[in-house]
Amino acid sequence: MSKTVSEVLAANNAYASEFNKGDLPMPPGRHFAILTCMDARLDPAKYAGLSEGDAHVIRNAGGRASDDAIRSLVISHKLLGTNEWFVIHHTDCGMETFTNEIMADLLESSLDTATVDESGWHDTGAGPGSVEGHYINWLTINDNAQSVVDDVKRIKGHPLVPANIPVYGYIYDCGSGRLVEVPEATAAGAV
Ligand SMILES: [Zn+2]
């Protein structure tokens, strides 16, 4: 068994041995959802004070309002009753470090993990890669605040999202742990 798997199972063993939340209902008790980045430095349960059963947390690279993120948000409201949503991007996001073209070129070169330095990303893998990366919109971020505004606007404008759900826009500061509002986003997400 890999070291990672044994560590995860040991941690789960400890968690389950003290677990007493087996009777929680499926709908989130606090009726809200967070769309945020998968970045390992972000812990939504901690930065937003969540316990099991409280809220939906939808995560992807960048915390972007992709079609699949919207799929989850629509389910979150339509079937599970959330009625307030947050879009939370963050400082120093990896999605600011590349473009669609850079990512596609790296993947075309090889599928191995790329390296990054002051001059940007480099592929040092052996290959072969794949041209499939050219057909994906990687939803990279050019301007952090603008990406929050764009995502809130996309969610609010989606035909499957009812008008009475407020969507709040924030940037999590990886340096301080603080959530900083993006007022233009929250304004765009107002009911
Ligand atoms: Zn990120």
Strand partners, 168: 86
pTM of the predicted structure, to 2 decimals = 0.96
Query: What pLDDT, on a 0 to 100 scale, did the predictor assign at position 120?
Result: 94
Q: How far is the CA of 35 from the centre of ligand 1 (A)?
A: 12
Cα-to-centroid distance, 94 and ligand 1 (Å): 5
Output phi, psi for 27, to 5 deg: -65, 140
> pLDDT tens track of the chain, all 191 residues?
899 999 999 999 999 999 999 999 999 999 999 999 999 999 999 999 999 999 999 999 999 999 999 999 999 999 999 999 999 999 999 999 999 999 999 999 999 999 999 999 999 999 999 999 999 999 999 999 999 999 999 999 999 999 999 999 999 999 999 999 999 999 999 99
pLDDT of residue 18: 98
Distance 70 CA to ligand 1 centre (A): 18
Distance of CA 1 from the midpoint of ligand 1 (Å): 30
Q: What's the confidence (pLDDT) of residue 11?
A: 98
- The pLDDT, as a whole number, for residue 130 is 98
HSE at residue 126, side-chain half, CA atoms within 13 A, is: 0
User: Ligand 1 centroid vs 95 CA: distance in angstroms?
Assistant: 6
Separation of CA 66 and ligand 1 centre (Å) = 14
Residues with Cβ–ion distance below 5 A, ligand 1? 37, 39, 93
Per-residue model confidence (pLDDT) at position 81? 98
Of the candidates 62, 136, 67, the residue with the CA atom closest to the CA atom of residue 105: 136
DSSP string, the chain: --HHHHHHHHHHHHHHHT---TT--SS-TT-EEEEEE--TT--HHHHTT--TTSEEEEEEGGG---HHHHHHHHHHHHTT---EEEEEEETT-GGGS--HHHHHHHHHH-SSPPEEETTEEE--------GGGGGS-----SSHHHHHHHHHHHHHH-TTS-TT--EEEEEE-TTT--EEE-HHHHHHT--
Q: How far does residue 43's CA lie from ligand 1's centre (Å)?
A: 12
How many Å apart are CA 126 and CA 117, to the nearest integer?
19
Distance (Å) from CA 127 to ligand 1 centroid: 27
CA of 105 to the centre of ligand 1 (A): 21
